[in-house]
């Protein structure tokens, strides 16, 4: 049995399929404007679990429905943290426990709880400063508060391409991280 060499069209299609199958479309596969629109639509379709870091009021909102300046509907404070994970009730209880401790929250929370609480505080500070744009950045897979700071200064398509690059980098490098 002899194997024939694929034609140039077939080899181009196979190369394209290989790029799409890996789970991350490369910039060369899709035009930049199309990629920006896809990223924007995907972000804006997500649901954010919003937690007020003053009164611990929590609510769910679609990212596209959030106003530019986000405030708590109960107390009016702008220190609101978005959460996109699955364990919403646990995170809300950690926020309540940490806020009840006040400045001494480090003594009230365990190590993992402290990390989650501090990440919520960092996210809330970004939302206070950047508004909905910060929620859009934090909605990306693998983008936390410290990583989101890198792209929040960008505008328009540069912002969404920066988010796409951050997510792509996370997916590419996560297999090398220790748990």
The domain tally of the chain equals 1
Radius of gyration over every alpha carbon of the chain, rounded to an integer in angstroms: 20
Domain that residue 108 falls in: 31-174
Lowest mean pLDDT among 36-45, 50-59, 77-86: 36-45
**Tell me, what's the pLDDT at 28?**
54
Residue 70: strand pairing partners? none
Q: Bigger pLDDT: 68 or 36?
A: 68
- Low-confidence winner among 16-20, 66-70, 148-152 (lowest mean pLDDT): 16-20
In a domain? residue 6: no
Which structure tokens are listed for 3?
Answer: 């194997």
In a domain? residue 17: no
Does residue 16 lie within any of the structural domains? Answer: no
pLDDT surpasses 80 at 58: yes
Tokens 């024939």, located at residue: 4
| In-domain check, residue 20 | no
CB 130 within 8 A of CB 152: yes
Helices (H), the chain: 8-21, 32-44, 88-100, 105-108, 111-130, 132-138, 145-148, 156-173
Residue-level pLDDT at 62: 96
Asked if residue 157 is part of any domain, the answer here is yes
Give domain status of residue 10, yes or no.
no
12 part of a folded domain: no
pLDDT at 13 over 70: no
């Amino acid at each position: 049995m002899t194997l024939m060499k694929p034609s140039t069209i077939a080899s181009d299609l196979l190369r394209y399929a290989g790029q799409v199958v890996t789970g991350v479309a490369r910039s060369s596969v899709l035009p930049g404007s199309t990629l920006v629109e896809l990223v924007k639509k995907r972000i804006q379709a997500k649901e954010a679990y919003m937690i007020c870091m003053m009164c611990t009021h929590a609510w769910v909102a679609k990212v596209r429905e959030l106003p530019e300046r986000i405030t708590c509907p109960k107390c009016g404070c702008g220190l609101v943290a978005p959460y996109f994970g699955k364990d919403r009730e646990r995170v809300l209880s950690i926020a309540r426990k940490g806020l009840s401790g006040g400045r001494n929250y480090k003594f009230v929370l365990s190590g993992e709880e402290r990390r989650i609480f501090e990440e919520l505080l960092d996210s809330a500070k970004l939302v206070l400063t950047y508004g909905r744009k910060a929620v859009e950045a934090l909605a990306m897979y693998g983008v936390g508060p410290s990583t989101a700071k890198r792209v929040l200064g960008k505008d328009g398509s540069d912002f969404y391409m920066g988010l796409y690059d951050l997510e792509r980098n996370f997916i590419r490098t996560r297999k090398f991280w220790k748990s």
